[in-house]
């Protein structure tokens, strides 16, 4: 019989579990139900009390590695804490969010426990054993993996499970002692880019995609790149959307052909040779909707597009709603409405 451990960690507030951790908790609860397995949740952070309360309703055994050493993500201390949590839980299946904090240490923890690990898991299912699903070859091939080796570590992709949302309650937490290694890294603080510079926001509900049309000659025979940049940044600021780009737009910067949008990099590129983000909704603007771009929209729930071209790819069944309109005008109006509302 399987014993399931869900590893979780707190967010930057130091007391609440991250959304991705709560998603892993949901996955663990579901899997434990399917296997009538024992569920344990391990919490890593400076303080576990509030975090534990948020998952008390699972009825799981709660373990915590807490203390100042875990206030900041750090390879040596996080690896030691996760190892201690795993040894205390004696789990055969270890689920964890594929966050940067856990992605950095999960492989070494699996190795120290003599286990195996798979990453980018998008779904878990059960027949007699546990099956895990992930995508390969740039999201073209979906595979279902099962393994006999235990403990089996599975890092879950964010956005693939609903975050656990049970009633908060009093929780009994067992403190797990961690033998700290020699610590050579001191975290002095965090430096984050300005809000406007952080255009890739995986947790946003909306993906806003900018296409090359923003930099093309417009009906007045002129290009309006500065205006395009202002409209896009204003929309991102007002809506909190994440910014995606078509390849044609992202490439222009690399080739330096003309002045293009300075806040865009290839990290924003969505598509076959770009990313495949997960958002509830997507709005494409000034983009033709060609197949190599639209394959990157596989995990976008509701798709809308604004294009001048009534024959663009979006109108050929690739979007739910297409506005045949000038995106400069539409986005100026949308921004004004959002501004008025805020
Ligand atoms: C191997 C390979 C891999 C590729 N990988 C990717 C990838 O990962 N991602 C990707 O994006 N592409 C990829 N491509 C390129 C892809 O095929 C398209 O060339 C690219 O997506 C086109 O970008 P675009 O639609 O922004 O530009 P364009 O094709 O230039 O389209 C611009 C659109 O903007 C519209 N427009 C102009 N002005 C306005 C306005 N004022 N209002 C509204 N609409 C307006 C035009 O009507 C036009 O439809 C790949 C191609 C190959 C061969």
Nearest-CA residue for atom 2 of ligand 1: 292
Nearest-CA residue for atom 22 of ligand 1: 248
CA of 228 to the centre of ligand 1 (A): 16
CA of 210 to the centre of ligand 1 (A): 9
- Per-residue pLDDT, 227: 96
Question: Pocket of ligand 1, candidates 307, 318, 322: which has the most ligand atoms within 8 Å of its Cβ, to mutate?
Answer: 307
- Residues 149-178, mean pLDDT to the nearest whole number: 95
Atom of ligand 1 lying closest to residue 291 CA:
17
Of all helices (H) and strands (E), which one includes residue 339? helix 327-341
pTM tops 0.85, yes or no: no
The yes-or-no verdict on residue 12 having pLDDT over 90 is: no
- Residues 255-281, mean pLDDT to the nearest whole number: 85
The yes-or-no verdict on residue 153 having pLDDT over 90 is: yes
Question: Pocket of ligand 1, candidates 221, 228, 290: which has the most ligand atoms within 8 Å of its Cβ, to mutate?
Answer: 290
- Residues 30-36, mean pLDDT to the nearest whole number: 95
Instruction: State how far the Cα of 263 lies from the Cα of 104, in Å rounded to an integer.
Output: 28
- Per-residue pLDDT, 126: 83
Nearest-CA residue for atom 29 of ligand 1: 288
CA of 293 to the centre of ligand 1 (A): 7
Identity of the highest mean pLDDT range in 96-110, 130-144, 197-211: 96-110
Nearest-CA residue for atom 11 of ligand 1: 246
Nearest-CA residue for atom 45 of ligand 1: 286
Ligand 1: residues within 6 Å at CB? Answer: 211-213, 216, 218, 246-249, 269-274, 286-288, 290, 292-293, 296, 306-309, 312, 326-328
Residue 216 · residue 223 · CB < 8 Å: yes
Coil vs helix vs strand at 282:
strand
Coil vs helix vs strand at 85:
helix
- Residues 201-214, mean pLDDT to the nearest whole number: 95
CA of 223 to the centre of ligand 1 (A): 17
The yes-or-no verdict on residue 258 having pLDDT over 60 is: no
- Per-residue pLDDT, 187: 86
- Per-residue pLDDT, 128: 83
- Per-residue pLDDT, 262: 87
**Range of weakest confidence among 84-88, 89-93, 140-144:** 140-144
Question: Pocket of ligand 1, candidates 137, 139, 216, 243: which has the most ligand atoms within 8 Å of its Cβ, to mutate?
Answer: 216
The yes-or-no verdict on residue 169 having pLDDT over 60 is: yes
Instruction: State how far the Cα of 53 lies from the Cα of 41, in Å rounded to an integer.
Output: 12
Question: Going edge to edge, which strands form the sheet with 321-324?
Answer: 242-245, 206-210, 279-285, 300-307, 321-324
- Per-residue pLDDT, 241: 97
- Per-residue pLDDT, 257: 53
CA of 212 to the centre of ligand 1 (A): 6
Of all helices (H) and strands (E), which one includes residue 105? helix 100-112
Read off the pLDDT band of 196 (50, 70, 90): low
Q: How far is CA 305 from the centre of its chain?
A: 23
CA of 215 to the centre of ligand 1 (A): 12
CA of 339 to the centre of ligand 1 (A): 29
Percent of the chain with pLDDT over 70: 96
Nearest-CA residue for atom 18 of ligand 1: 290
Question: Pocket of ligand 1, candidates 292, 298, 329: which has the most ligand atoms within 8 Å of its Cβ, to mutate?
Answer: 292
Question: Going edge to edge, which strands form the sheet with 61-66?
Answer: 141-145, 130-136, 116-126, 152-156, 93-97, 3-9, 38-45, 61-66, 173-175
């Amino acid at each position: 019989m399987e014993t399931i451990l869900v590893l979780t960690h707190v967010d930057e507030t130091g007391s609440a579990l991250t959304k991705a951790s709560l998603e892993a908790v949901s996955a663990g609860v579901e899997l434990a139900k399917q296997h009538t397995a024992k569920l344990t949740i391990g919490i890593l952070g400076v303080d576990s009390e509030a975090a534990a309360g948020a998952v008390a309703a699972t009825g799981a055994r709660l373990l915590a590695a807490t203390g100042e050493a875990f206030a900041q993500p750090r390879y040596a201390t996080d690896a030691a804490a996760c190892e201690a949590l795993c040894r205390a839980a004696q789990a055969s299946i270890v689920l964890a969010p594929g966050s940067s904090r856990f992605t950095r240490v999960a492989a070494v923890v699996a190795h120290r426990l003599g286990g195996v690990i798979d990453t980018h898991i998008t779904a878990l299912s059960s027949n007699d054993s546990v099956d895990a699903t992930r995508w390969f070859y740039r999201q073209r091939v979906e595979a279902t993996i099962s393994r006999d080796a235990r403990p089996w570590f599975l890092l879950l992709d964010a956005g693939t499970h609903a975050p656990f949302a049970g009633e908060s309650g009093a929780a009994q937490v067992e403190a797990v002692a961690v033998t700290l290694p020699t610590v050579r890294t001191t975290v002095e603080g965090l430096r984050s880019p300005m809000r406007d510079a952080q255009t890739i926001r995986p947790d946003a509900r909306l993906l806003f995609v900018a296409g090359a049309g923003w930099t093309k000659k417009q009906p007045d025979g002129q290009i309006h790149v500065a205006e395009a940049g202002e409209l896009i940044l204003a929309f991102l600021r007002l809506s909190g959307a994440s910014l995606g780009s078509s390849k044609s737009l992202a490439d222009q910067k690399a080739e330096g052909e003309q002045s293009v949008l300075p806040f865009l990099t290839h990290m924003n590129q969505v598509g076959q040779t770009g990313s495949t983000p997960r958002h509830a909704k997507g709005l494409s603007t000034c983009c033709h909707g060609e197949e190599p771009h639209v394959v990157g929209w596989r995990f976008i729930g509701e798709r809308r597009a604004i294009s001048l071209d009534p024959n663009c790819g979006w109108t050929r069944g690739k979007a739910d709603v297409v506005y045949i309109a000038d995106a400069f005008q539409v986005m100026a109006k949308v921004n004004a409405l959002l501004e008025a509302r805020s």
